[in-house]
């Protein structure tokens, strides 16, 4: 492993430094080659750094800022008023080359918007996308994109998502020739939007990609495809529907019909489910699954690594998001996507 520095927006997320700082310390403990730039309110951060060994402290720099972007702020307002905020400063650190990647649990729209402006899309990428891993019933993982960055997509956009998703899955899931599918309302060639059918034709022609055809909503979790491609509107609806259904069914099984709303596209789909079952202790098979590993989504198609942690992430989950960003930097995902674009 090589040395690297990540910039963290430690104010983002529902809880802020009380989660992100212990998570940062954990990430530094687990990865001796990692350094972190922490952007946030030093008054809140300082007490959480007491009594740390020098081996950790020397790889950790606090950059004070008093401003934050609120979680549900309107995008254009957030962008206009982003100057000096912990999120923007973290991204700017990547822009300046002080860090090689960025992690935030804050406002997803603002993170995407600022990343696009400050870090720029890769040459040839029309639209960066939001990608996340989802668990499958076979015990493997799939990746799904776009999850909300682009609500209207051309065939070319979907084709590029497939390409980026394939490179991402190769590297992050260690797969050879990952199976790519387009989410559609049927598996016949005539189904769905013209953009999807055209993207299907483009993917068929590229023999370097392992395109397997259309997939329907009921098979999202069945491990039939490693890379599930869709526009951001449908992806967002499908992912949230999965999340809601998983919660509701578990609630039904547990006889508890009182449900709470959660409204975060990056919430790990099965975290709640798996935890509940895990805590119940009666489903030992599930102990192998760690829901924290499904924390967060990544922006792909940018010149640098940006990871969006779930706003409600706990310490372990945020530490996973940091480790995930570090892995993506070391695997040079942006450079590989760029090379893939040129190759395919």
Q: Which residues of this chain interact with a second copy, rule CB under 8 A?
A: 72, 74-75, 137-139, 148, 151-152, 183, 185-188, 190, 192-193, 216-222, 232-234, 236-253, 255, 257, 259, 261-263, 265, 273, 277, 283, 285-286
Q: How far is the CB of 156 from a second copy (least distance, A)?
A: 19
User: For residues 39 and 214, which CB has a smaller minimum distance to a second copy in the complex?
Assistant: 214
Q: How far is the CB of 266 from a second copy (least distance, A)?
A: 13
**319, HSE (Cβ side, Cα atoms, 13 Å):** 17
User: For residues 255 and 281, which CB has a smaller minimum distance to a second copy in the complex?
Assistant: 255
Residue 144: strand, helix, or coil: strand
Chain position carrying tokens 């019909």: 257
User: For residues 179 and 240, which CB has a smaller minimum distance to a second copy in the complex?
Assistant: 240
Cα distance between residue 229 and residue 166, in whole Å: 10
Q: How far is the CB of 168 from a second copy (least distance, A)?
A: 22
* DSSP label of 67: B
Q: DSSP string of 7-54?
A: EEETT-SSSTHHHHHHHHHHHHHH-TTEEEEEEE-HHHHGGGGTT--H
User: For residues 124 and 139, which CB has a smaller minimum distance to a second copy in the complex?
Assistant: 139
Q: How far is the CB of 107 from a second copy (least distance, A)?
A: 12
Would you say 41 and 58 are in contact if contact means Cβ atoms under 8 Å apart?
A: no
User: For residues 18 and 275, which CB has a smaller minimum distance to a second copy in the complex?
Assistant: 275
User: For residues 14 and 58, which CB has a smaller minimum distance to a second copy in the complex?
Assistant: 14
Cα distance between residue 255 and residue 123, in whole Å: 52
Chain position carrying tokens 């799904």: 144
Tokens describing residue 112:
């995407």
Q: How far is the CB of 144 from a second copy (least distance, A)?
A: 11
Q: How far is the CB of 256 from a second copy (least distance, A)?
A: 9
Would you say 226 and 180 are in contact if contact means Cβ atoms under 8 Å apart?
A: yes
Q: DSSP string of 261-329?
A: ----TTS-TTHHHHHHHHHHT--GGGGG--GGGG--EEEESBSSEEEE--TT--HHHHHHHHHHHHHHH
Q: How far is the CB of 240 from a second copy (least distance, A)?
A: 3
User: For residues 5 and 230, which CB has a smaller minimum distance to a second copy in the complex?
Assistant: 230
């Amino acid at each position: 492993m090589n040395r690297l520095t990540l910039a963290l927006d430690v104010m983002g997320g529902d809880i802020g430094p009380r989660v992100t700082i212990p998570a940062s310390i954990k990430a530094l403990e687990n990865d001796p080659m990692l350094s972190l730039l922490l952007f946030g309110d030093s008054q809140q951060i300082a007490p959480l750094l007491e009594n740390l060994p020098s081996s950790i402290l020397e790889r950790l720099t606090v950059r004070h800022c008093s401003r934050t972007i609120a979680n549900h702020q309107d995008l254009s307002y957030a962008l206009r008023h982003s100057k000096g905020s912990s999120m923007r400063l973290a991204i700017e650190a990547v822009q300046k080359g002080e860090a090689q990647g960025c992690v935030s649990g804050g406002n997803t729209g603002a993170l995407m918007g600022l990343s696009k402006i400050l870090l720029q899309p890769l040459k040839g990428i029309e639209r960066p996308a939001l990608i996340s891993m989802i668990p499958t019933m076979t015990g493997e993982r799939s990746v799904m994109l776009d999850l909300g960055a682009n609500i209207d997509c051309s065939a070319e956009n979907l084709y590029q998502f497939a390409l980026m998703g394939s490179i991402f899955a190769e590297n992050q899931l260690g797969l050879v020739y990952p199976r790519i599918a387009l989410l559609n309302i049927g598996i016949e060639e005539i189904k769905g939007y013209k953009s999807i059918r055209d993207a299907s034709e483009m993917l068929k022609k590229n023999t370097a990609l392992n395109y397997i055809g259309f997939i329907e909503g009921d098979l999202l979790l069945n491990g039939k495809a490693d890379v599930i491609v869709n526009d951001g509107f449908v992806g967002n609806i499908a992912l949230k529907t999965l999340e809601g259904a998983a919660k509701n069914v578990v609630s039904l099984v547990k006889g508890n019909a009182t449900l709470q709303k959660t409204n975060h596209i990056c919430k790990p789909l099965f975290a709640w489910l798996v935890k509940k079952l895990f805590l119940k202790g009666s489903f030992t098979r599930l102990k192998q699954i760690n829901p924290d590993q499904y924390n967060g989504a990544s922006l792909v198609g940018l010149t640098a690594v940006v990871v969006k942690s779930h706003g409600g992430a706990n310490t372990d989950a945020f530490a996973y998001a940091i480790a995930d960003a570090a892995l993506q930097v070391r695997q040079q995902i942006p450079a590989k996507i760029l090379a893939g674009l040129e190759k395919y």
